[in-house]
Amino acid sequence: VALIGHAATSCTGHGEFFIRAVVGYDVACLMEYKGLSLAEACRVVVHDKLAPVGGEGGLIAVDAAGNLTLPFNSEGMYRASRNAAGEEMVAIYEGE
């Protein structure tokens, strides 16, 4: 899901919860209407909106400036990234 000028997201997890919560759209709206950063908007949606209703999983999100965030509320989430400087990140669990 992408909203021009705000964010692009890719979600993984319990699909029905992500669809019902319009996760990608909600992230972009929090950025646009509340002025939240990409990371904070994603944290709110994944931890404060999805988790309480049983939605488990995470998302990959990039904003218009190229900032990346990979929040999840499950035990782990396979994820990797590489930035423009060539720095790589590969992780499964929180804190890696």
Length of the chain: 96
pLDDT one digit per residue (tens) for the chain, 96 residues:
556 678 899 999 988 999 998 999 999 999 999 999 999 999 999 999 999 999 999 999 999 889 999 999 999 999 999 988 999 999 999 988
Q: Which domain holds residue 31?
A: 2-93
How many structural domains are present in the chain? 1
Gap between the Cα atoms of 29 and 9, Å rounded:
13
Q: How many CB atoms lie within 10 A of CB 67?
A: 13
pTM for the model: 0.87
Could you tell me the CATH number of the domain that includes residue 86? 3.60.20.30
